[in-house]
């Protein structure tokens, strides 16, 4: 027996009312009823659908509770690629962006200012939501911009995402938005986790990303996620708006929530005024933002401006400077790195900086401590450098206590007790214990196994800690003597995990001379220098037998690097480890240095890669450039030959344009690598 007509009518009425009140609450920010009244209507709808299951539909508000858990996310290809943005970090970079826009649009100096749409840059997770005939059918994360993860079941749990659009929706519309977690919801989530003895989230962005990517949508349904939509992707059956601001209005009319902070501004100065205003109000917003996005408002102008790789020329993200906070410096400890360098670390009274609780901060080295006059007991200003690495920015001298203590460099290593040496005029002090120092040993082994070195997958920080603490590994050569039984006996390993690590160790034996030299962790020898040494000498034997003067003949190798190399290879312990590695089967193809140098058409050129590439990783691109004789650098200068700009290219791209360094996109890079020559 089917549902009676009055039940069907009531179900439809409740769904319409709930959709209306969701729209009033999330989109218009003008609720007509209380949360309790909304909950009561939802409960009535749930009861009716429970009694008459045939009335349940995919777009019913009751279907937000979460679907059956999945083993993994399916991939979802975006109909239109989801773009990244270039970054600006200063007012001048914003003005330079405006100048480039005007120049590319061929606007005269007397022409009116360009109109921009300005909006907060949300610190969340980018998402694409597709509606067909007004009904939500698919949602996907940004992923790599071309392919993301299908999170439809999870997106359906977010009340701010309509399951059905308002009015006469087009045949298909793809809306782009940012999922985020409000500050209050984040604090409540962490409070509940702490009460249960569970790990808390570091910041709202991590909480939002972790919540949206739950394999069980029922977990996502319990998380306080929200969303703002900010753009259209693919559209069918609808006339596209003529401006970005009209696009936002269209999204809002369809029931899609947009940021109430969006505004239209005129020219670079209008952008900067908006930025300053939002920065002042940043702490009062209910959600985290890390900057502002400016977009040329006219879609016709956007089309004329086009794209650079996967980033549009008509938009830019203006990032806020690193946030700062004041706290007490309680102690200074010294950590020992791979090359024995002692790094002073400030132990702080915990303080929240940029949404993250900071208890430790770097002091860099003794020169920095002396320059900033940092003392134990000081009140200090802590900054998250680049919004990532906490550092002590400065001391509040006016609040210095009378018993503040100067920071002293230890005379002996805090880990192994070996003497600490600081060369005259050097900023860095070092432990002289080398492999006898457990701290150096662990860091050197991490470096040896790293992806850019021997690339031993699975031999990460925790496992290295275990094998060193268990006395199983002291040098890189010992890695190749590990057995299945030794690894399986370690905590959280087991036989399958042990087999995986042993397989990775076996695969790592096939490497290149450049990678091997880099993996040895010789001071001052980075990837570029290791590649240059390999190409010049062709074999390890030739390098081992080279004199100080012969090493200096390698391009870009000066007396400091040459001294480090000859000193490293002169030590019996290092030669013994190298011999053991070769006996263990670590090998590489021999290089004919003469023919290699003749077959390097990019010799003498310096490339800088910035942003992310679609067809390969930056590491792979740099390897291929070096194979053609080029030098891959991490910084832009007047000596840079070319900058390759991928997605999210930021300050390096801006600096290249300011210095007049030629900028190439990914297509040009591929042409260079395939054709083995510069593009015409």
* Catalytic residue positions, numbered: 121
Distance CA 106, CA 180 (A): 39
Angle between helices 527-537 and 618-627 (to 10 degrees): 30
Cα dihedral across residues 495, 497, 498, 499: positive or negative: positive
Query: Please, which residues have CB within 8 angstroms of residue 641's CB and are 6 or more apart in sequence?
Result: 605, 606, 607, 630, 661, 662
Q: Does residue 326 sit in helix, strand or coil?
A: strand
User: Cα dist. 190→65, 124, 535 in Å?
Assistant: 21, 17, 54
Distance CA 414, CA 429 (A): 13
* 543 within 8 A of 472, measured Cβ to Cβ: no
Rg of the chain, C-alpha, whole Å: 29
Distance CA 394, CA 146 (A): 43
* 261 within 8 A of 119, measured Cβ to Cβ: yes
Burial class (CB in 10 A: 0-12, 13-18, 19+), 84: buried
Query: Please, which residues have CB within 8 angstroms of residue 555's CB and are 6 or more apart in sequence?
Result: 532, 536
Helix (H) or strand (E) holding 632: strand 631-633
Closest CA to 535 of 625, 609, 608, 644: 625
Q: Are strands 356-362 and 315-319 parallel, antiparallel or unpaired?
A: unpaired
* 592 within 8 A of 640, measured Cβ to Cβ: no
User: Cα dist. 536→430, 539, 590 in Å?
Assistant: 31, 9, 12
Phi/psi for 352 (5° steps) reads: -85, 120
Q: Give residue 640's Cα distance to chain centre.
A: 25
Query: Please, which residues have CB within 8 angstroms of residue 603's CB and are 6 or more apart in sequence?
Result: 597, 629, 630
Distance CA 161, CA 163 (A): 6
User: Cα dist. 634→249, 401, 526, 549, 562 in Å?
Assistant: 43, 42, 11, 27, 21
Q: Which two tokens stand for residue 373?
A: 């006059």
Q: Does residue 359 sit in helix, strand or coil?
A: strand
* 125 within 8 A of 209, measured Cβ to Cβ: yes
Q: What is the DSSP string of 260-294?
A: TT-EEEEHHHHHHHHHHHHHHHGGGSSS-EEEEEE
Query: Please, which residues have CB within 8 angstroms of residue 310's CB and are 6 or more apart in sequence?
Result: 81, 83, 84, 145, 614, 646, 647, 666
* Ordered strands of the 226-236 beta sheet: 135-141, 125-132, 172-180, 226-236
Angle between helices 35-51 and 5-22 (to 10 degrees): 150
Distance CA 540, CA 546 (A): 10
* 480 within 8 A of 502, measured Cβ to Cβ: no
Q: What is the dihedral of CA 561, 565, 570, 576, to 10 degrees?
A: 150
């Amino acid at each position: 027996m089917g549902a009676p007509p009055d039940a069907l009518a009531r179900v439809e009425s409740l769904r319409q009312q709930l959709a209306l009140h969701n729209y009033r609450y999330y989109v218009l920010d003008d609720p007509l009823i209380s949360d309790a009244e909304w909950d009561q209507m939802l409960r009535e709808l749930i009861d009716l659908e429970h009694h008459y299951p045939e009335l349940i539909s995919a777009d019913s508000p009751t279907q937000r509770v979460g679907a059956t858990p999945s083993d993994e996310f399916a991939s979802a290809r975006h109909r239109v690629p989801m773009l990244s943005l270039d970054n600006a970090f200063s007012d001048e970079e914003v003005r330079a962006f405006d100048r480039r826009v005007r120049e590319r649009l061929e606007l005269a100096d007397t022409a009116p200012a360009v109109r921009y749409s300005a909006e907060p840059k949300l610190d969340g997770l980018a998402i694409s939501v597709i509606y067909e005939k007004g009904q939500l059918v698919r949602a996907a994360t940004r992923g790599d911009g071309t392919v993301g993860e299908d999170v439809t079941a999870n997106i359906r749990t977010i009340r701010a995402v309509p399951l059905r659009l308002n009015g006469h929706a087009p045949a298909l519309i793809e809306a782009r938005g940012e999922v985020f977690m409000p500050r209050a919801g984040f604090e409540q989530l962490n409070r509940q986790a702490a009460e249960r003895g569970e790990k808390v989230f570091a910041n709202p962005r991590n909480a939002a990303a972790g919540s949206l990517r739950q394999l069980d949508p029922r977990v996502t349904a319990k998380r306080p996620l929200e969303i703002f939509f900010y753009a259209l992707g693919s559209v069918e059956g609808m006339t596209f708006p003529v401006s970005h601001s009209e696009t936002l209005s269209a999204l809002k009319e369809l029931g899609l929530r947009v940021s109430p902070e969006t505004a239209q501004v005129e020219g670079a100065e209008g952008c900067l005024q908006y930025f300053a205003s939002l920065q002042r109000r940043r702490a009062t917003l209910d959600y985290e933002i890390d900057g502002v996005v400016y977009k040329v408002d006219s879609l016709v102008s956007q089309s004329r401006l086009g794209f650079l790789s996967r980033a549009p020329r008509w938009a830019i993200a203006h990032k806020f400077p690193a946030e700062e906070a004041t706290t007490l410096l309680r102690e200074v400890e010294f950590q020992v790195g791979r090359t024995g360098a002692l790094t002073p670390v400030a132990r702080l009274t915990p303080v929240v900086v940029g949404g993250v609780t900071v208890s430790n901060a770097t002091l860099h080295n003794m020169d920095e401590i002396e320059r900033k006059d940092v003392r134990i007991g000081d009140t200090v200003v802590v900054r998250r450098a680049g919004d990532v690495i906490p550092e002590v920015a400065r001391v509040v001298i006016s609040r210095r206590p009378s018993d503040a203590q100067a920071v002293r460099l230890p005379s002996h290593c805090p880990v192994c007790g070996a003497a600490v040496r600081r060369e005259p005029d050097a900023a860095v002090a070092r432990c002289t214990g080398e492999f006898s120092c457990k701290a150096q040993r662990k860091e050197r082994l991490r470096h040896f196994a790293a992806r850019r070195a021997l690339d031993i997958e699975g031999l990460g920080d925790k496992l290295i800690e275990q094998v060193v603490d268990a006395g199983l590994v002291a040098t890189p050569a010992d890695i190749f003597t590990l057995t299945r039984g030794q690894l399986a006996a370690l905590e959280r390993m087991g036989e399958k995990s042990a087999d995986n690590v042993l397989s990775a160790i076996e695969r790592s034996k096939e490497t290149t001379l450049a990678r091997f030299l880099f993996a040895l962790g010789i001071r001052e020898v980075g990837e570029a220098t290791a590649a240059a040494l390999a190409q010049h000498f062709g074999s390890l034997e030739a390098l081992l037998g080279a004199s100080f003067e012969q090493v200096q003949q390698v391009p870009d190798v000066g007396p400091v690097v040459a001294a480090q190399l000859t000193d490293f290879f002169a030590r019996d312990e290092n030669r013994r480890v190298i011999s053991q590695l070769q006996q263990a089967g670590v090998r590489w193809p021999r290089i004919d240095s003469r023919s290699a140098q003749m077959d390097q058409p990019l010799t003498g050129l310096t490339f800088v890669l910035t942003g992310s590439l679609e067809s390969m990783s930056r590491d792979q691109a740099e390897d291929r450039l070096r194979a053609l004789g080029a030098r891959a650098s991490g910084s832009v200068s007047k000596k840079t030959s070319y900058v390759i700009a991928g997605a999210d290219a930021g300050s390096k791209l801006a600096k290249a344009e300011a210095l007049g360094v030629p900028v190439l996109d990914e297509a040009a890079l591929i042409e260079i690598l395939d054709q083995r020559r510069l593009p015409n």
